[in-house]
Chains A and B, each alone.
Chain A
Amino acid sequence: MDPTLDLDAIRTIVVRNGVIAALRDDAPVAADPEVERVDCAGMVLCPGFIDPHVHLREPGDAHKETLASGLAAAAAGGFTAVAAMPNTRPAIDDAASIRRIARDAAAAGRVRTYVIGAVTRGRDGTTIAELRSMASAGAVAFSDDGSSTASLKALYNAALSIADLPQPFLSHCEDRSFGDGLMHDGAVADLLGVTASPSIAETAIAARDALVARATGKAWHLCHVSAAETIDVIRWAQGHGVRLTAEVTPHHLLCTDQALLGYDARMRVNPPLRSESDAAAMRRAVADGIITIFASDHAPHTTEEKEPPLSHACAGFSGLETAIGATFHALPDVALAVMVANFSTNVAALLGVAGGTLKVGSPADITGLYLDRPWTVEPHRFKSLGRVTPFAGMKFAVQPALAVVGGEIVV
């Protein structure tokens, strides 16, 4: 299955020197001792899935996740590449850090790791980081993810300062004045009496950043969109020629603030789980082609760090090993070609990286899926050190079965 080739057929993929050498529609040739064969009967082979939004926690929080455990989780989850967010401790905000993370990740696992640089120094929201140097060092994008870049002036000038470069900006949309919110401000928060953050905290920043994208001409991407009103902003921007894309996570497609009833601190995440109508709006936005990218926002924490009370619990879920199953589960009516593009082709295009296609001459990055092999989410089996997921015990039909990176089978 390759959306770039408009191909959905039975083929043999021939790989040589880590590159796709041919797509053959005849039966495999007779045994050649020089050739290793992998039987993929029953599997759908796709361009390698790329997760544009993961937190690998190194440096600073290796007790939550290490590069090795995070990349093992990515492979187990069916991903051939990930893009690591820079909100580590310290933040990845200079060229040396970009090079170091890329080098350490290459040593820690075979899943390709792209590194995202911080927009501002130490993610302080006001001091523009050395974006040009980081770009030269290999940064694929820039983001202050974990929060929004507080200063409009800094964000605008940061974008202008590298308007000539291809690296996009990735926005975490959440107005800081609502930073004390522990959950979505809706009927459930009313019942629970919990300090909450309303949808407009996301939508207002999404609108601000869409306007910065328009004013600077920079390619822009909205991370983990969660509020129905934000879809209106994206639609407006895309309709006015702004180079704006958006991603959605499996939990914002499938889960709602009802999960917080009983003060379940494990369900705390930023942006928060919102109402059922918001989740439905996310699913519709994918079906309508407004949201074109899937991301796990893999944000592992220890189980202890996810315990109540709500104000003490860390925000985020371990997501790499459930992303594919959960996303397909949430969107049963979206065409397979669209699903694959959102996991692969569109992500490669966003980040300007190789992959996203099975075209001859491309790197042999391949994700294999079983479309109907029901499996149950068992967090204790995760490769990730983070075991908290909103999907524990759920059954998903689509199962990742194979991950090939540069011709090497990693799972």
Chain B
Amino acid sequence: MTRTRHLLDLDGADRSTIERFVARAAEFKRGVPSAARLLHGRIVVGMFFEASTRTALSFAAAAFRLGAHWLDFKTESSSLGKGESLADTMRTVRAIGADAVVVRHSESGFAHALAPHFGGSIINAGDGCHAHPTQGLLDAFTLQEEFATLDGRRLTISGDIKHSRVARSSARASSLLGAHVTLCAPPSLLPRDRPAWGFAAASSDLDAELPSSDALMLLRVQKERIDAAGSPPSSDLASGFGLDARRYALLPAHAIIMHPGPVNRGVEIAQAFVTDPRSRIERQVENGTFTRMAVLEACIGGPS
């Protein structure tokens, strides 16, 4: 696996980069005998300025399986709040011996802001509305596992596209692997350029997209992030861009259902479909750990 210093986003990635991550994640899933020695003695620091259960846990499990130590940086009581500059904090974290910092923050570009100040690797676990690259990779992995190849497959992503870092990263990773991606949202929550973000189709009519979709990815309604003057209410998103029984019937029989979690049951996805045989929501979580193993290895693996 080629080494990479940081993983900030997938914006400049090419197809072969995505393929390498996905292939390595698949190897870890099948089982790599010496995996627990790959990052023996390395230290990975989790800096989660925004609440996270599954991503933090998934990264910690990935570090554990590779033999690395996971340390939590207590963001709420950190010296950053006492006026210490980002640069000083990052130098301190490095001096303590951290090889990688996994960071989540509510501001887009936050991981990018850390990178110049840290001698080790910065891995972005979600920055505002911008990127969530490991989610993008794990979604691409899950899709590839399902369809063998994404070339010619159609992925529909539905919900609050504008404020979704998952949408940006998953759409890009899947598109790079050959999928045709359509973003579904009210016009105010879609990118304005066409193709969207330079590569995706866009629509405000989810019903029209469903019959030709091989995979439907529903986005979490971000109740905590909604600005009441900036976005329609969540009820509008749920009714217009969520999954109910009527829409389920519009999907082809082979289509799968995805969701980055955590699910608001009965909001963007009706209760019954979370555990439907066509739901891959649990598989996504499972694949997340293998994907993050591949990412950690690429960033801090090999001779130190």
Chain A: residues with CB nearer than 8 A to chain B? 177, 180, 186-187, 190-195, 262-263, 265, 304, 307-311
Contacts and interface: CB of A to CB of B under 8 A. Distances in A.
B193 A263 contact: no
Contact of A308 (B113, B129, B227): B113
Contact of B192 (A186, A263, A265): A186
Contacts of B108: 192-195, 263, 310
B105 to A, nearest CB: 8
B229 A190 contact: no
Contacts of B127: 193
B45 to A, nearest CB: 19
Interface residues of B, number: 27
Given A263-B112, A308-B112, A191 B107 contact: no
Contacts of B281: none
B191 A190 contact: yes
Nearest to B161: A190
A268 to B, nearest CB: 11
A193 B113 contact: no
Given A307-B113, A309-B105, 13 more contacts: A191-B198, A193-B128, A193-B129, A194-B108, A194-B109, A195-B129, A262-B112, A263-B108, A263-B112, A265-B113, A308-B112, A308-B113, A309-B110
A263 B113 contact: yes
B11 A191 contact: yes
B197 A177 contact: no
Nearest to B116: A308
Contacts of B227: 180
A309 B229 contact: no
B130 interface: yes
A13 B195 CA distance: 60
A186 B162 CA distance: 12
A311 B108 CA distance: 9
B140 to A, nearest CB: 19
A187 B131 contact: no
A290 B193 CA distance: 30
A193 B162 CA distance: 7
B65 interface: no
Contacts of B107: 309-311
Contacts of A186: 192
B165 interface: yes
